[in-house]
Every structure is written in C-alpha cells, then in structure tokens.
C-alpha cells in the first residue's frame, strides 16, 4: 500500500489461486480460490470465492464456499453461501441462500460449537422471492 491506494478490484476476467490479504477495501468480480482477509469486502453477483473470508465489513452477492467471519455482514438476494457464518451485525435479503450455521462473533470466541458438541444455530435457509 505504498502508493496510498485504499481500494483494490479483482476484475470479472481474473481468477486468483492463493490467499489474499488487503489492509483496505477489496471488490471482487472474478474468482478466488483461497482465503481472503481484508478491511471491507464487496463481492459482485457473478463472482465466486472458495475459501475462508475474514473482514470487518462484507457485502456478498455471489457464491461463497467456506466460512465467513465479519463484524458487519450483508448477504444480498443473489448470494449463495455454503459454510458457517460468524457476525456481529447481520442483514440477509429475501432470496439469499445460506447452507451453514450462524453464530454471533462473541459466542464463537467464547465457546466454539465443536468444543461444546452442540451447534449454536444450525440452519439451511432459502428465502422465497
């Protein structure tokens, strides 16, 4: 970030294999096969992520296969998520599909479901349009 850039874009024609780390905002329209850690993530409708996502804020509109951890998470109606979701604040639009468990971040840190043997909240949701 020596150039002072605060926003990075992965274009629709780009496929990245490997982990991504950004100290600022990241907009993904292409495909990522790896883990993503960033301050803010915006995912385009036709993009796909296969890996763990960790962000302060995330706005997801494409396909994610892997767990998501975000302080503020917005799952848009075009999103298709397969994996566990950890959040502080959560918004899910009608029409979004999530196949995984939901857990607040505080509960994830205090007592992971694997340690207790009980899931925090298990859900397979498909909101009708």
* DSSP per-residue codes, 98-123: EEEEEEEHHHHHHS-HHHHTS-S-EE
Model confidence band, residue 128 (pLDDT cutoffs 50, 70, 90): very low
Count of C-beta atoms within a 10 Å radius of residue 63: 19
Confidence (pTM): 0.78
Asked if residue 32 lies in contact with residue 52, where contact means CB atoms within 8 angstroms, the answer is no
Residue 36 pairs in a beta bridge with 20, 53
Q: Quick one: residue 96, left, alpha or beta (phi over 0 = left, psi -120 to 50 = alpha)? A: beta
- pLDDT, position 122: 43
Model confidence band, residue 115 (pLDDT cutoffs 50, 70, 90): very low
Model confidence band, residue 118 (pLDDT cutoffs 50, 70, 90): very low
pLDDT digits (tens, 9 = 90+) for 44-103: 999 999 999 999 999 999 999 999 999 999 999 999 999 999 999 999 999 999 999 999
Cα–Cα distance for residue pair 10/68, rounded to 1 Å: 19
Specify the range with the lowest mean pLDDT, choosing from 14-28, 48-62, 72-86, 107-121: 107-121
Question: What token pair was written down for 23?
Answer: 């100290």
Ordered by start, the domain boundaries in the chain are: 7-99
Give, in order, the Cα–Cα distances in Å from 15 to each of 44, 62, 80: 14, 14, 19
- pLDDT, position 113: 43
Instruction: Give the mean pLDDT of the chain.
Output: 85
Give, in order, the Cα–Cα distances in Å from 94 to each of 1, 9, 72, 73, 129: 37, 27, 18, 15, 6
Whether the pLDDT of residue 27 is over 80: the answer is: yes
């Amino acid at each position: 970030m020596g150039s002072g850039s605060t926003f990075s874009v992965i274009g629709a024609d780009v496929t990245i294999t490997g982990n991504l780390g950004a100290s600022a905002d990241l907009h993904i329209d292409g495909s990522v096969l790896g883990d993503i850690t960033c301050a803010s993530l915006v995912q385009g409708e036709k993009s796909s992520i296969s890996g763990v996502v960790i962000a302060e804020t995330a706005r997801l509109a494409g396909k994610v296969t892997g767990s998501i951890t975000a302080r503020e998470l917005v799952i848009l109606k075009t999103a298709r998520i397969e994996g566990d979701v950890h959040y502080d604040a959560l918004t899910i639009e009608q029409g979004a599909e999530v196949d995984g468990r939901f857990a607040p971040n505080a509960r994830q840190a205090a007592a992971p479901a694997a340690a207790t043997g009980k899931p925090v909240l298990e859900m397979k949701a498909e909101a009708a349009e």
